[in-house]
Amino acid sequence: MTNDTQAQLWNGPAGHAWVDAQEHLDHLFAPLEALLVEAVRARGTPQRVLDVGCGTGGTTLAVARLPGQALRNVVGIDLSEPMLALARARAAREALSASFIRADAESHAFEPASFDMFISRFGVMFFADPERAFANLLRAASPGAALSCSVWRGPADNPFMTTAERAAAPLLPNLPVRAPDGPGQFAFAEPSRVRPILQAAGWRDIELQPIDVTCSMPESALLLYVTRLGPVGLALREADEHTRSEVTAVVRAAFEPYVRGAEVQFRAACWQLSARAP
C-alpha cells in the first residue's frame, strides 16, 4: 500500500469514520495516551513535541494540557484533513497552544533539529517506507531527542482486533487479507523487523517494551466500531443492504465474549517503542 493509497483512505471513509468515533476511540485508548503523556512529562522542559500520525489530536492535546510545562511547541502531523479539522477545532475550543500539519511525515520538509521529542499512538505503522520515514524524523530531531511510540504486537496477542474479520470472512469473500510486512495495524509486531528499520534510519538505544492494558468503550458504541472501522467497515460500504444486515448481526454476536454489561473490555497487547537521536 503506497502513501498515496493511505492518503486516499484517511481522507475518505476511514478518516470520516474515525472523526465520527473520536470520543469513543479516545476513551478506548486512554491508557496508552497516558503512557505517552508520562513519557513527555519525564523528559522535563522546555521541549518541542511532534505527534506523528496524530489523527483527531487526542494525544497532541493531552500533551498540550500538561500543567506547569514550558512546552515551546506541540505539533501534530497527519495525512487526514477530516481528522485534522476536528483536531484543530478541539484545540480552539480549549484554547490550547497546539498546531497541526497536514503532510506525510515520511517526506515532509521539517526544519532541521526542530523537535526534542516524538510521540505516536498507533501512527507509525502505516509508512510505505518506514526506514525513510524514521530517517526523515531524525533529521527533524535535536541532538539526543527522544522517540516514544505505542504500536501493536501481533494479531495472535490481540484477538479482539481481528474478531470482526474472522466472523465476517464467510460472508465477505473479498475481504482484504492483511499483509504482515505492509503498512497496517500489525506492521511493527515483530521486534526483529522494527529494530533494523530504526537502526538503519540512524536512531540509537532502541527498545521495545511489552505492555498490556485494559481498554474499554460503551457497549452502545460497539455497532459503530463494528460497521464503520477497519477492513470490515470498509467492505460494508460496498455491500448490499441484506449483506450489511447479516454481517452486522454475525459480527456483533462474535464480540459478545468482550461485553461486560454496559461496557466492552479487552486487553490491548502493544509494544512501547523508544529510541534516541544521536
Could you tell me what percent of the chain has a pLDDT over 70? 97
Which pTM value belongs to this model?
0.94
Q: Which pLDDT belongs to residue 44?
A: 80
User: How much is the average pLDDT of 52-60?
Assistant: 97
Q: How far is residue 139's CA from residue 53's CA, in Å, rounded to a whole number?
A: 17
Q: Which pLDDT belongs to residue 1?
A: 47
| Non-local CB neighbours of 139 within 8 Å, separated by 6+ positions | 110, 112
Q: Which pLDDT belongs to residue 179?
A: 76
User: How much is the average pLDDT of 61-72?
Assistant: 79
- pLDDT 10s digits, 164-205: 999 999 999 888 888 777 889 999 999 999 999 999 999 999
Q: For residue 140, is pLDDT > 60?
A: yes
Q: How far is residue 177's CA from residue 30's CA, in Å, rounded to a whole number?
A: 29
CA-CA-CA-CA torsion for 129, 134, 136, 138, nearest 10 degrees?
-170
Q: How far is residue 155's CA from residue 178's CA, in Å, rounded to a whole number?
A: 10
Kindly list the structural domains of the chain, giving each domain's residue range(s) and its CATH number in brackets, ordered by start.
3-157+179-216+267-276 (3.40.50.150)
User: How much is the average pLDDT of 97-116?
Assistant: 96
Q: For residue 219, is pLDDT > 70?
A: yes
Q: Which pLDDT belongs to residue 36?
A: 96
DSSP 231: H
Q: For residue 2, is pLDDT > 80?
A: no
